[in-house]
Amino acid sequence: MTQEVMTVGGDAPDRGFRREPSLGVWVAVGLVAAAVLSIVAIATMVEWTARTVEADQLLVGVSNSEAVMKAAQGDFAEIFAQLDDETLTEGQRAELVADLSVISQAAEIAIAEAGERVAAVTIWPWHTRLVDAQKAYLAHNNAWVDYMSAASEDPAELVRPQEAVNDTFVAARDPLWRMIPRFDPLDLRAEVVAIYADDEPNGSSGGGGVPA
């Protein structure tokens, strides 16, 4: 501290005292803080809502696609059960084999349309987990379309192992699981569990090949 020269009759020295902020200043600061917190809360809610809606819509499309695949497998199984009848004539067998081609053609169209609905789900580009899940499932859907296309040309394809179909089905499971927000009031994880509840090869919508 420097020396303070004492003077007689002069102005009192400025001690540098700070004034306490007025009540109005504190109110203004509080309002700004509350506004910032509100904006953050609203942004967080909007983000969570968007992710939840996108995941729900994507799972609706996936479930519909899986239902179409399972329906096709059920139709194939019925034909193969009839083919097991040893009393069938060659003509009757030929008709049943032709039915397999027709079913495959119809399934190819229906599964492709189901895939288009999955692809049509709008996802914000920064929701990368949802984008990855969408791409992963579309790879499975496309594998099924190729499978049905091949079976429509040669029904024997139905009894051959379909590695692409099976592998893409398994590969889509983790992306579908990871896309769901941690807070999951719609219980979307249960839907993923249901989709993969019966994922054994040749025994689910994901598997390729129909036992003859």
DSSP 201: T
Reference 210, options 17, 34, 78; nearest CA is 78
- Gap between the Cα atoms of 205 and 192, Å rounded: 13
Predicted TM-score of the model (pTM): 0.77
- Gap between the Cα atoms of 11 and 14, Å rounded: 9
Model pLDDT for residues 68-120, shown as the tens digit of each residue: 999 999 999 999 999 999 899 999 999 999 999 999 999 999 999 999 999 99
Domain ranges of the chain: 61-195
Q: Answer yes or no: is pLDDT of 172 > 70.
A: yes
Model pLDDT for residues 196-210, shown as the tens digit of each residue: 997 644 444 555 555
Q: Answer yes or no: is pLDDT of 15 > 90.
A: no
CB-based contact 62:120 (threshold 8 Å): no
- Gap between the Cα atoms of 94 and 91, Å rounded: 5
